[in-house]
Structure 1
Amino acid sequence: MGLRAKKFTPEVLLSAPRRSEGIPNSDASKVLYSVSTYSFDDHAKASEIRLLDSKSQESSLVTDKNGSSEPQWLDDDTVLLLHGDEGGVTHIKVGPVQHFGDGSYIAGTIDGPVGNVKLVRIGNGTYGVALTGKVKPCGDLYNPEKAEKPVTTGREFDSLFVRHWDHYTTENRNAIFLATLYKEADKYKLSELKNALKGSKLESPIDPFGGTDNFDISTHGLVFTAKDPDLNPATHTKTNIYLSASKNFWLDIAKGLPEFFEVPISNFEGASTSPVWDKTGTSIAFLSMKTDGYESDKNQLFVIPDYVTPGWVIHHFPGGSSGQGTWDRSPQSIAWGGNDTLYLTAEAKGRMNLFTAAARPTGLNPVPSQLVKGGYITSVKVLNSGDIFLTSTSLIESSLYSTVPADHAKRTLSGQSYYTLPVDESPYDPKSSQLITKYVSSSTHCGGMFGIYGHQVSEISWPGAADDTDIHAFVIKPSNFKEGKTYPLAYLIHGGPQGAWGDSWSTRWNPVLFAEQGYVVITPNPTGSTGYGQKFVDAIQNQWGGLPYEDLVLGFDYIQKNLPYVDTDHAVALGASYGGYMMNWIQGHDLGRKFKALVTHDGVFSMTSQLASEELYFPFHDLGGTLWNNSESWSKWDPSRFAGNWATPHLIVHSELDYRLTMNEGLSAFNVLQTKGVHSKLLYFPDENHWVLKPENSLKWHEVVFDWINEHAGLEKYTVWRAGNVKKQPEDS
């Protein structure tokens, strides 16, 4: 089984291997993946690309050369990967998977950093290749290591969107590059890259998080999503689907890319995402939202049956009085299972489940059937056989690979039982009453490597503040939980606000890690949370401190009355982003007096400060208009209005590079606490954004946060425990 940690601590979490999604070969007998680890002794990160033999469960090294990434199969024995090198260049390397180090070669070198590689077979041993990278205004690939350094740091702006997420905008933007990979003297060679977006005003992938989900290639063309070039991205969410296709696409691009076609979607003015070709390169599926300016509107499914007639678009599951369609789920990704089947991931009650639907619906147009339940599915890949390869996580599992046989998927589509992700290493049992997917590999041996287990996690619900609503929450107990003993409550409030706590792994806010400090952790999903229907999501508009706060008050009361093992007299509450807003709101209201301590990470202090944010459409939508058109709402839900009530000990965490919620928000909250004489502390990171990502900074975050809440909840400080125990806690097998 390998090494097993005596206690699940921040050091264990942050130094444990982080495994990527699995990249299976044609039958998933072999799986490529990348894995990174961080050493707090050496203060260094190490990365490898590895190969898993599914049958033997043995893992072997493909390469540990620094800069190697994004492995892809060319065939069942040959791998392509990217290798960043000195001078900012990127090599395309190809070689046999079993001895890549000795047998690989450079198939081409690109003069700049690129990523998001996609491949498609186009016949005669040739592949179409798509990559993305930053380009200069002229359309040529941008290499920051070779760029001329400006003599002044002054920048001029004459429109909105000055900065985004954690960086100021520049003249360089993302573009998709196309090329072919062909055989020459028994070795692959990369043709010259062509910027597919050159000469247009379009940018794809969309910053800051767009990647391979923003575009796709097939034998017949390129499809991608991009912001509408005629609308300012600070006040609009509208993105369009663009298609460039022809019968001989990869031959035609040598003469010039076929003209882009903007796919028409009547009455849908929001964000369009996740365009995916089917396996024949004929049909395209994608997702789209109705409302411009609302990033949490419901995704709805569309299919272009034939690229030859791209104006013919089928809207799946339409209808409903609200125009939100008959399927009350918001799909997040699409995979084709052949010409007649689609697989969709969508949140449902704290999980990211897999659903299946007909690609070409009948007149009845039934909503999708749930195929796999449990955990959080992060990647879906359909094998040549039709079997489905899944990558997923859970609250106790950092990386799970599993499969669903094709015949089970067909059975579910016809209305039979769904399947669950395995919670242990048991093989698939077709006679079991609880049908499970077939286990392939667990990075943590289903939590056992960390000494954490599925039985620590349960679920509760209570009536919400609004009529006919139930508030769902996960309950996570310590691994050494004992009946008859009480444990202080850690009430964790999620961000968004249109987000949710799920049965998923995290290296930033890991509920099990909090539980291992000695808390019963409860993660409520109040009004505005995703995965409980679009009406529930939409209900938070103009209600930031209203219904969600009332849901949390009712939840605290429910916990007091129904969970005797929870010590609410020594409760603490924590939240980030909108959860941080809620901590500041709670601090100014009655619920704040029921906690021994609060933690706000990157939270809103003053609503008017949201005008410094980059994506202005967000407060404009959620607060029901602009400040000057609806000042009453902006004022009503402003935590700073209630600063006179602040009295509970409070830790404020904020980072300089957070341009979504600026540093002034954290300083303002801290200054109020200090001026009022409330016991408080400020933790500041000059080099982090909305998230604390660097391992050493993340360890510091956990140390300060755990010390703060433990002290006030009556538990031993984490740093005190570590000083006395870490040297006495060897790992054993």
Structure 2
Amino acid sequence: MRKLASLLIFCAAISLAAPYQQKAFNNGALPSSGAFPENIGLSWQDVVSIPTISTWSLNPAGDAAIVRTVTIDVETDTPSYGLHLLAINAQYTVPTALHGTTHPSAFYSFITNDTFVTLLPSQSSFGSWDFTLQALNYTTIPPAWAPTASKPTILKTVPLGNRRPQSMVYSAKARVLSVVLDEGSKNGSRGTPGPLALFSIAEQDNLWTIEQLTISLEGDLAINEIAAGDSAIVFTAHNPAIRPRNATRSILYFLDLSSPSCPIKISSGSFGAVWSPALSSNGQIAWLEQPEDGNWRGRKELWMYDGHISWKVPLKDWDLSISSVIFSKNSEALNLLTLHDQDTSIFHIWTPTRSSPPSSPVRIPSNGTIHSAYHVGITPLDHSHLIGVMSSLTSAHELWVISHSPHDDPAYNYENIRLTYFSKPTLRGRQLSEGESIEFVNELGSTVKGKVFLPSNTKSQENVPVVLLLHGDGNSGGWRNQWMQYWNQNALINEGYAVITVNPTGSEGYGDYFAQSLRFNWGNQTIKDISLGLTHSFALFSSLDSSSVTAMGYGAYGGFVTHWIQGHPTDFVTPNGEPVRWKKLVAHNGVLSPRWWAAETPCPAKVEWEFGEISYDDASPFSLWDPEHFAGEWAIPELVIHDGRDDCDAGPLSQSYASFALLQSRGVKSEILVSDKQAFSKWHRAIFELFVPL
């Protein structure tokens, strides 16, 4: 087996069962049906190399955009970044133009419909950043040509020291660019700017100038999210004074840009995290707030502020957790981006007042997951238009128009219109699988859902090896109808595996009670649901080989389940009651011991929310659900992966090293890969070449 020089490998190659072999991919003419009758899926090389939208900016009219894509070289894992120009006409496709390469750390903002500013690292001096200006030449009237942009002109070079920009927004009426800066290093020099820098931009006689404004913020403040209105900004932030290491609390601030010296606190930060601030055109503020400190998975509540008082918005017949709030351009409606079942869709409500009765959110149908969106207004044809990035299990990330009625029934006359085609050269003619939906009722009476993906559309195949994918417990945890460069089901079925995904107890999108039921029960009901999902899938699809099953878990919880399987392999059974035979396991950023996780994570409040106060009592969740306690049973070959993440949804790197050391001490065939978050090709090679040679 070929070893990669960049991998950290500590043991010999593992000999494992080969998957069901498919016919070679046909690169010739397509059959008349337009689909490959036996080959389903996409090679991992193609999955990795599809350009992905990394950031984008929309002009005020909503009829032009600039889009940065990142494309990964599968041989070297080297990313390249392209800047694309887009004119938008929902009734007529205007070709997207590749303007050229761009910097991966650049930020973009339109200041007029046809002028945009870029903030990027300066080549003149270290720690300085350039504001550049470009004009966009475009039309949306057929026959429209591909847009072009002028050469960039440097407006100003600003020294930012050891702080790096994290985001940039523009307020058109105030003519102010607001730039959020990171916390920088601890040994920053005197004069280093604070967490927010404001820049006034002006035009006179076709000459643009930019000047920095003075703002006073608490020195240790760290800004998380920001949103801009015409003459003000709102942002969420945390401060060590109210957010010690064991807390997740944050504060919502409002800043009037006509007098930007003193931000106003809108929320106290005395409860949980504040998310997704939004400003309406008439000055209202909306945001999301979690009521419990540390409860990352809990339902986020919708709050509003009308300039005088803030209040929690009552929602009728609503048990889902909103992830993002978007005001309509005329301020008359709120669009709530929400995970529902396995899709992330927009739910519509009319903007409430303090005296309004409870609102009933109405779902606008979408064909996948909406990752981000902006409302651009009501069209002359009487459609309410949002533009956003959307993907699905069979479609990579692209820009779409999400259109619906602006009247009493917002779900009426909805339509999704594709605007970009970055993935078309790769996906053209390929038959991809959406999976076959499964559902079953667990012992608590809850309906559990999942999908089964087969490597062939003929169900008569026999002894097809199975990959069980296990999701993490991060925000919006659950298998969704979205495209992923990692953990892509179509890449796995292309190699001849069947794939099973289950959204067990603790997954989001099925109500708050279902999501919260994971608390104190990490090794309990969720594990039972996964076992039932396997049994149910084997009963429905006789072609699946229960004697050749691989489990792959990502994130803190997915890796936890992988290690739980190591210690409890016989708890997962076939329909006839025989134990599933595990051939291999993969744990990516997983947790080995929750007690040590609490001591090492930057978010111990999350661990304490999930397991309670740290305890060594045998009856505590820390002891009951500790995979390390069952290490004496570990015998299944395992690949341990860590990508260097150090956040609330990942097990610390030390947990991965400890897992590998434990496997080695028991003589279990095992390997470890320590890489970074962008090591897509290394990750796939570790899976397909080093661990599961075909």
In the alignment, the residues of structure 2 paired with residue 121 and residue 630 of structure 1 have an alpha-carbon distance, to the nearest angstrom, of: 60
* Aligned residue number for residue 522 of structure 2: 544
Q: Give 2:152's match in structure 1, choosing from 104, 107, 117.
A: 104
Distance 1:11 1:274, change over 3 A: same
What does 1:657-668 correspond to in 2, within 5 Å? 658=646, 660-668=650-658
CA shift at 1:117, angstroms? 1.1
* Aligned residue number for residue 209 of structure 1: none
Q: Deviations over 1:346-390 (max 9, x none)?
A: 101111111111211564322211113331101111114352112
Question: Is residue 671 from structure 1 mapped to residue 655 from structure 2 by the alignment?
Answer: no
Distance 1:330 1:447, change over 3 A: farther
CA shift at 1:235, angstroms? 1.1
In the alignment, the residues of structure 2 paired with residue 630 and residue 286 of structure 1 have an alpha-carbon distance, to the nearest angstrom, of: 41
In the alignment, the residues of structure 2 paired with residue 27 and residue 657 of structure 1 have an alpha-carbon distance, to the nearest angstrom, of: 38
SS at structure 1 position matched to 2:178: strand
* Aligned residue number for residue 684 of structure 2: 702
Higher helix share goes to which structure? 1
* Aligned residue number for residue 177 of structure 1: 197
CA shift at 1:701, angstroms? 1.8
Question: Is residue 521 from structure 1 mapped to residue 499 from structure 2 by the alignment?
Answer: yes
Q: Deviations over 1:129-184 (max 9, x none)?
A: 1001146799xxx9x8xx69xxxxxxxxxxxxxxxxxxxxxx99971211211113
SS at structure 2 position matched to 1:502: coil
Aligned residues between the structures: 621
8 A contact 2:45–2:681 mirrored in 1: yes
* Aligned residue number for residue 289 of structure 1: 290
8 A contact 1:287–1:301 mirrored in 2: yes
Distance 1:234 1:570, change over 3 A: same
8 A contact 2:93–2:419 mirrored in 1: no
In the alignment, the residues of structure 2 paired with residue 502 and residue 613 of structure 1 have an alpha-carbon distance, to the nearest angstrom, of: 26
8 A contact 1:79–1:94 mirrored in 2: yes
In the alignment, the residues of structure 1 paired with residue 347 and residue 322 of structure 2 have an alpha-carbon distance, to the nearest angstrom, of: 9
Q: Give 1:604's match in structure 2, choosing from 591, 595, 600.
A: 591
Higher deviation after alignment, 654-663 or 79-88:
654-663
Q: Give 2:401's match in structure 1, choosing from 400, 403, 412.
A: 403
In the alignment, the residues of structure 2 paired with residue 243 and residue 29 of structure 1 have an alpha-carbon distance, to the nearest angstrom, of: 29
SS at structure 2 position matched to 1:46: strand
The letter for the 2-side match of 1:215 is: I
* Aligned residue number for residue 333 of structure 1: 324
What does 1:155-554 correspond to in 2, within 5 Å? 175-197=195-217, 199-205=218-224, 214-245=225-256, 249-250=257-258, 252-253=259-260, 257-263=261-267, 269-280=271-282, 282-306=283-307, 309=308, 312-317=309-314, 326-337=317-328, 338-360=330-352, 363-385=356-378, 386-405=384-403, 408-413=405-410, 416-417=411-412, 436-445=415-424, 448-449=427-428, 451-453=430-432, 455-465=433-443, 467-478=444-455, 480-486=456-462, 487-496=464-473, 499-554=477-532
* Aligned residue number for residue 618 of structure 1: 606
In the alignment, the residues of structure 1 paired with residue 690 and residue 184 of structure 2 have an alpha-carbon distance, to the nearest angstrom, of: 47
In the alignment, the residues of structure 1 paired with residue 78 and residue 611 of structure 2 have an alpha-carbon distance, to the nearest angstrom, of: 44
Q: Give 2:636's match in structure 1, choosing from 628, 648, 656.
A: 648
Higher deviation after alignment, 50-59 or 369-378:
50-59
CA shift at 1:22, angstroms? 4.8
Q: Please list every run of 5 or more consecutive structure 1 residues that lacks an aligned counterpart in the other structure.
A: 149-170, 206-213, 319-324, 418-429, 717-733
8 A contact 2:563–2:587 mirrored in 1: yes
In the alignment, the residues of structure 2 paired with residue 95 and residue 173 of structure 1 have an alpha-carbon distance, to the nearest angstrom, of: 26
Distance 1:299 1:68, change over 3 A: closer
8 A contact 1:303–1:315 mirrored in 2: yes
* Aligned residue number for residue 560 of structure 2: 581
What does 1:712-731 correspond to in 2, within 5 Å? 716=694
Calculate percent identity across the aligned residue pairs: 20
The letter for the 1-side match of 2:198 is: L
8 A contact 1:8–1:450 mirrored in 2: no
In the alignment, the residues of structure 2 paired with residue 34 and residue 26 of structure 1 have an alpha-carbon distance, to the nearest angstrom, of: 18
CA shift at 1:286, angstroms? 0.6
Distance 1:700 1:447, change over 3 A: closer
Question: Is residue 52 from structure 1 mapped to residue 31 from structure 2 by the alignment?
Answer: no
Q: Please list every run of 5 or more consecutive structure 2 residues that lacks an aligned counterpart in the other structure.
A: 1-28, 31-35, 138-146, 379-383, 573-578
SS at structure 2 position matched to 1:596: strand
Distance 1:558 1:276, change over 3 A: same
Question: Is residue 681 from structure 1 mapped to residue 684 from structure 2 by the alignment?
Answer: no
* Aligned residue number for residue 725 of structure 1: none
8 A contact 1:21–1:391 mirrored in 2: no
Higher deviation after alignment, 97-106 or 604-613:
97-106
Q: Deviations over 1:387-423 (max 9, x none)?
A: 21122111121123222345x143434xx55xxxxxx
In the alignment, the residues of structure 2 paired with residue 272 and residue 663 of structure 1 have an alpha-carbon distance, to the nearest angstrom, of: 28
* Aligned residue number for residue 101 of structure 2: 64
* Aligned residue number for residue 15 of structure 2: none
The letter for the 1-side match of 2:459 is: E
User: TM-score, with normalisation over the residues of structure 2?
Assistant: 0.82
8 A contact 1:396–1:447 mirrored in 2: no
Higher deviation after alignment, 230-239 or 531-540:
230-239
8 A contact 2:673–2:686 mirrored in 1: no
Q: Deviations over 1:511-540 (max 9, x none)?
A: 221121111211111111111101011111
* Aligned residue number for residue 34 of structure 1: 68
CA shift at 1:618, angstroms? 1.6
The letter for the 1-side match of 2:552 is: L
User: TM-score, with normalisation over the residues of structure 1?
Assistant: 0.78
8 A contact 2:131–2:155 mirrored in 1: yes
8 A contact 1:243–1:263 mirrored in 2: no
CA shift at 1:262, angstroms? 4.0
In the alignment, the residues of structure 1 paired with residue 643 and residue 234 of structure 2 have an alpha-carbon distance, to the nearest angstrom, of: 37
The letter for the 1-side match of 2:491 is: L
CA shift at 1:636, angstroms? 0.7
8 A contact 2:197–2:212 mirrored in 1: no
CA shift at 1:37, angstroms? 1.8
SS at structure 2 position matched to 1:667: helix
8 A contact 2:50–2:423 mirrored in 1: no
8 A contact 2:116–2:136 mirrored in 1: yes
In the alignment, the residues of structure 2 paired with residue 637 and residue 370 of structure 1 have an alpha-carbon distance, to the nearest angstrom, of: 38
The root-mean-square deviation of aligned C-alpha atoms, in Å, is: 3.1
CA shift at 1:631, angstroms? 6.8
8 A contact 1:493–1:523 mirrored in 2: yes
Higher deviation after alignment, 624-633 or 508-517:
624-633
Q: Give 1:121's match in structure 2, choosing from 172, 183, 189.
A: 172
CA shift at 1:201, angstroms? 4.2
* Aligned residue number for residue 12 of structure 2: none
The letter for the 1-side match of 2:545 is: D
8 A contact 2:74–2:681 mirrored in 1: no
Distance 1:12 1:26, change over 3 A: same
The letter for the 1-side match of 2:672 is: L
8 A contact 1:70–1:81 mirrored in 2: yes
